[in-house]
Amino acid sequence: MILGKQAIDDDYNQTGQMLAALLKWPQGTFVSKLDINKDKLQVVSEVDGGLETLEMTLPAVVTTDLRLNEPRYATLPNIMKAKQKPLEEISAESLGVDFMPHLVTLSVEESPKRKTGIKVESIDALLEKLQKEAKVL
């Protein structure tokens, strides 16, 4: 299953990962190169240190990067032809789609207010506070 990595209204990059988790399928994210060999999938992803190559079994969920392909743009004649084609409507129930929510929000709370920090005059004063007040040293 191939998905984009972003929605048009945000940059959360979570749909592919959540779908892979719910389906219990392997996942490749930010894929810029894709090779399919029988029941194996090899993907190249951009990571902080460069490129990472992963191999996974099919079926899998893949989220794409903009470098995966060169997009084709619809031409006006093809748009006009598409308007003439019949559009078949299918009910979700006939596909066996489950609309029951699988996630439950238990609570939403504001994070506690942080205490105001203090400035210390020297390293020795910092060490003393860490030893005596915070008791971390």
Would residue 73 count as lying in a domain?
no
pLDDT in tens, 49-79: 899 999 999 999 999 888 888 888 999 999 9
pTM of the full structure: 0.54
Instruction: Convert 86-136 into a string of H (helix), E (strand) and C (coil).
Output: CCCCCCCHHHCCCCCCCCCCCCCCCCCCCCCCCCCCCHHHHHHHHHHCCCC
Full domain range(s) for residue 47: 2-68
131 domain residue, yes or no: no
pLDDT above 90 for 92: no
Q: Domain for residue 42, yes or no?
A: yes
Tell me whether residue 122 is in a domain.
no
List Cα–Cα distances, 91 to 19, 87, 94, 95, 97, in angstroms.
21, 13, 5, 7, 9
Residues 111-126: pLDDT tens digits?
999 888 889 999 999 9
Domain assignment of residue 115, yes or no: no
Q: How confident is the model at residue 105 (pLDDT cuts 50, 70, 90)?
A: very high
34 part of a folded domain? yes
> The tokens 């596909």 sit on which residue?
95
The domain total for the chain is: 1
Residue 25 in any domain: the answer is yes
The pLDDT value recorded for residue 76 is 95
In a domain, 56, yes or no: yes
Name the token pair of 84.
Answer: 């003439």
